[in-house]
């Protein structure tokens, strides 16, 4: 096994806790499924949110996915406030144990967030 990093992002339609929960859940589910991961493979996850998101912590949304996330270290930070940046975006950087070569890791950018990293978005 090697430690790999998986990137991902999703743009929220609105700043509401329930909507954030749905979208962060969809992002995490896609990251896990596309990379053949279980919660036992997770080392830690960093979340960032753009400064216009105030309704909830992305990590709180992740914890609501189930007990498998209960002992995974999760942390949130605020994304840089860059003029012209895409609004209402939650990003993640997950550190995982994986047998996949780095080139085979599927980075997940859902919906409009795919425009953020056209070079690696699946």
Please state the residue numbers annotated as binding site for prephenate.
7, 91, 109
Q: Nearest Cα to 12, choosing from 59, 53, 60, 56?
A: 53
76 a catalytic residue? yes
Question: Which residues, 6+ apart, have CB-to-CB distance to 67 below 8 Å?
Answer: none
Please tell me which residue in 34, 76, 83, 88 is annotated as part of the active site.
Answer: 76
63 a catalytic residue? yes
88 a catalytic residue? no
Q: What is the DSSP string of 19-59?
A: HHHHHHHHHHHHHHHHTT--GGGEEEEEEEE-TT--S--HH
Please tell me which residue in 22, 34, 63, 100 is annotated as part of the active site.
Answer: 63
34 a catalytic residue? no
117 a catalytic residue? yes
Please tell me which residue in 22, 91, 100, 102 is annotated as part of the active site.
Answer: 91
100 a catalytic residue? no
Which residues make up each annotated binding site? 7, 91, 109
Question: Which residues, 6+ apart, have CB-to-CB distance to 110 below 8 Å?
Answer: 8, 9, 10, 11, 23, 26, 27, 30
4 a catalytic residue? no
Residue positions annotated with a catalytic role:
7, 63, 76, 79, 91, 109, 117
């Amino acid at each position: 096994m090697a430690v790999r990093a998986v990137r991902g992002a999703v743009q929220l339609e609105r700043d509401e806790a329930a909507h954030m929960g749905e979208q962060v859940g969809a992002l995490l589910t896609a990251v896990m499924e596309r990379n053949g991961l279980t919660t036992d493979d997770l080392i830690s996850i960093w979340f960032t949110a753009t400064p216009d998101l105030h309704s909830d912590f992305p990590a709180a949304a992740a914890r609501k996915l189930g007990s498998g996330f209960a002992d995974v270290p999760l942390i949130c930070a605020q994304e840089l406030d860059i003029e012209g940046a895409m609004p209402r975006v939650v990003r993640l950087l997950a550190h995982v144990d994986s047998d996949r070569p780095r080139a085979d890791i599927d980075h997940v950018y859902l919906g409009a967030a795919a425009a953020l990293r056209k070079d690696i978005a699946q």
